[in-house]
Structure 1
Amino acid sequence: MTAYAISEVEMLDETQGQRYRELAAASIARHGGRYIVRGAEPDVPEGNWPREQRVVVVEFPSMDRLRRWYSSADYAEALAIRDTALTRRLLFVDGV
């Protein structure tokens, strides 16, 4: 079953953010993932949404592949700079 990583992201540092995006994108591709939404500013018909936050949705073939990507040495380099590049809320969900 398809699985999705959904992120609510706020950039803290554009230079570090660009490096993070490059590293993350390469690791996602190597683990069979693909971006569905990348850095979108959502239209918010209900509720509150901070203007500076963006949305990212990445699709993986399965929850197992998503979890393997997240804990991989491939993605570790991106995670090492994440805290200086951005803040986020990250969700893993199964598709239907």
Structure 2
Amino acid sequence: MAKPMTKTQLVAALADEMDSDKKTAGAALDAVVAIITREVSGGGAVTLPGVGKIYCRERPERMVRNPATGETIKKDADKVVKMTIAKALKDSVNG
């Protein structure tokens, strides 16, 4: 498995793709991340065409087991961020 792309590498690739400098590309990436974070944390969802949909889902209260002790405890309800991958991306990876 290849190593994941770092933010520095992503900014450099984005700057190259945009024919721009790294400072502008970094600002654009930070702005996109801030918008996604604000929307999803507010209960909304963001669809990135060709990539997928990022959304927040609520998980109910449930019983979980501590693997070290075997003790079962009640875990409170919480929220979790999910992502559904777009069919176009799945097809390009498998194709």
Task: Compute the TM-score of the two structures, normalised by the length of structure 1.
Answer: 0.28
> Which of 1 and 2 has greater Rg?
2
